[in-house]
């Protein structure tokens, strides 16, 4: 399972995107992007994975995700003999950049609760009671209208969510990349490259040559943006990838170790326990229990 960087089509003139995802099933697409995302499941049921948190989703699931937080919604298999049709699974998705709704609002006294909500979203926020009737009306209004009316409606929706207390924080920790400033910054390209090649032998010198900067500059840039050294960041990404392979429940632990770029099984086990608090085998057993019982589990 590859962690894929999603390029969301936003720019300065349109810092948000509101769209309807309608498909026969939601395929498992483990991905991340530098934008915030509010996802409301209209129809569908399956497994939601946000960072290291795994849980079930169904109609009304409402989750706000912060920048660079890996996630996916994956439909449960349909019963044998069932034909899956277009629209059997539907979600309304709002994606917006860090420039939306703007510093004038977020730094104001009135915008403090919204700022706090966005800060918490770096670990994923689930609203247990889903959208209330008023929010449903406003989301429908935003979908049907454009221009300033849509913008004001979306800001109002975020403001309403910011004062709710029926929230669950999903992932156990914020991703390193949540500190990256925006999707056009050079660090985003560096991070995407590390993501793509994290199973290989990576060094500061190799990255410095790739991005035409000195090794010391690259080290400082990476440390400032992520709070981690290259080795720490690569280990974190490899552990995230290992979790994805363990979720599939196939292959030996040693195979997962080597597929993720680790060359030593003992070192892999130590790093996995350091990041997740349990061994890879125990993690996989927990995920199997989740699928049998439908309980939400946090590694």
Residue 270 falls inside a structural domain: yes
Q: Which residue range forms the structural domain that includes residue 117?
A: 4-169
Same domain, 61 and 13: yes
**173 vs 78 pLDDT, higher one:** 173
Residue 176 falls inside a structural domain: no
What pLDDT is attached to residue 209? Answer: 92
pLDDT digits (tens, 9 = 90+) for 16-66: 999 999 999 888 787 889 999 999 999 988 888 888 677 778 899 999 999
Residues 220-229: what's their mean pLDDT?
79
Q: What is the C-alpha to C-alpha distance for residues 288 and 43, in angstroms, rounded to an integer?
A: 25
Residue 65 falls inside a structural domain: yes
What pLDDT is attached to residue 292? Answer: 46
Mean pLDDT score of the chain, rounded to an integer?
83
What pLDDT is attached to residue 277? Answer: 85
Most confident of 84-93, 111-120, 182-191, 214-223: 111-120
pLDDT digits (tens, 9 = 90+) for 171-215: 876 665 444 334 445 666 787 788 778 889 999 999 999 989 999
Residue 299 falls inside a structural domain: no
What pLDDT is attached to residue 181? Answer: 39
How do beta strands 46-50 and 53-57 pair?
antiparallel
What pLDDT is attached to residue 177? Answer: 42
Residues 236-240: what's their mean pLDDT?
81
Same domain, 62 and 159: yes
What pLDDT is attached to residue 156? Answer: 94
Coil, strand, or helix at residue 289? helix
How do beta strands 62-65 and 16-23 pair?
unpaired
How confident is residue 241, by pLDDT bands cut at 50, 70 and 90? confident
| Count of structural domains, the chain | 2
**Domain of 146: which CATH number?**
2.60.120.10
- Does residue 269 carry a pLDDT above 90? yes
Residue 67 falls inside a structural domain: yes
Q: Which of 126, 142, 169 represents a domain boundary (last residue)?
A: 169
The answer to whether the Cα torsion of 207, 209, 213, 217 is positive or negative is positive
Closest CA to 69 of 158, 227, 176: 176
Q: What is the C-alpha to C-alpha distance for residues 28 and 45, in angstroms, rounded to an integer?
A: 13
What pLDDT is attached to residue 39? Answer: 97
- Does residue 298 carry a pLDDT above 70? no
Same domain, 271 and 222: yes
What pLDDT is attached to residue 179? Answer: 43
Q: What is the C-alpha to C-alpha distance for residues 158 and 160, in angstroms, rounded to an integer?
A: 5
**Domain of 262: which CATH number?**
1.10.10.60
pLDDT digits (tens, 9 = 90+) for 13-23: 889 999 999 99
Q: What is the C-alpha to C-alpha distance for residues 145 and 87, in angstroms, rounded to an integer?
A: 22
Same domain, 190 and 165: no
- Does residue 217 carry a pLDDT above 70? yes
What pLDDT is attached to residue 180? Answer: 39
pLDDT digits (tens, 9 = 90+) for 140-180: 888 888 889 999 999 999 999 999 999 999 987 666 544 43
Same domain, 159 and 200: no
Same domain, 47 and 135: yes
Same domain, 14 and 122: yes
Alpha helix stretches (DSSP H) within the chain? 103-106, 112-120, 133-144, 147-162, 186-197, 204-210, 215-226, 230-248, 253-259, 265-276, 280-293
How confident is residue 97, by pLDDT bands cut at 50, 70 and 90? very high
Contact 243, 276 (CB under 8 A): yes
Q: Which of 109, 134, 169 represents a domain boundary (last residue)?
A: 169
Residue 283 falls inside a structural domain: yes
Cα-based angle 195, 192, 9 (whole degrees, multiple of 5):
130
Residue 179 falls inside a structural domain: no
Same domain, 236 and 160: no
Q: Which of 125, 140, 169 represents a domain boundary (last residue)?
A: 169
Residue 116 falls inside a structural domain: yes
């Amino acid at each position: 399972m590859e962690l894929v960087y999603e390029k969301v089509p936003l720019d300065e003139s349109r810092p948000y995107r509101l769209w309807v995802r309608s498909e026969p099933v939601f395929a498992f697409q483990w991905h991340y992007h530098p934008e915030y995302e509010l996802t409301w499941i209209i129809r569908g049921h399956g497994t939601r994975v946000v960072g290291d948190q795994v849980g079930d989703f169904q109609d009304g699931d409402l989750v706000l995700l912060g920048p660079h937080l890996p996630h996916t919604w994956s439909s449960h298999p349909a019963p044998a003999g069932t034909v899956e049709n277009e629209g059997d699974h539907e979600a309304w998705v709002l994606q917006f950049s860090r420039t939306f709704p703007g510093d004038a609002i977020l730094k104001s006294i009135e915008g403090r609760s919204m700022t706090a909500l966005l800060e918490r979203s770096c670990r994923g926020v689930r609203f247990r009671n889903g959208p209330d009737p008023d929010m449903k009306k406003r989301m429908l209004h935003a979908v049907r209208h454009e221009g300033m009316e849509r913008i004001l409606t979306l800001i109002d929706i975020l403001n309403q969510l910011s004062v709710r207390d029926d929230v669950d924080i999903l992932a156990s920790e914020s991703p390193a990349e949540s500190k990256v400033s925006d999707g056009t910054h050079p660090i985003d390209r560096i991070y995407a490259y590390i993501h793509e090649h994290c199973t290989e032998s990576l060094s500061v010198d190799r990255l410095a040559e790739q991005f035409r900067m000195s090794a010391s500059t690259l080290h400082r840039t990476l440390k400032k943006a992520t709070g981690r050294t290259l080795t720490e960041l690569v280990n974190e990404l490899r552990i995230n990838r290992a979790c994805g392979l363990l979720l599939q429940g196939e292959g030996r632990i040693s195979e997962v170790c080597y597929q993720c770029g680790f060359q030593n099984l003992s070192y892999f086990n130590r790093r996995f326990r350091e990041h997740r608090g349990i061994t890879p085998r125990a993690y996989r057993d927990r995920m199997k229990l989740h699928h049998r019982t439908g309980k939400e589990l946090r590694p």
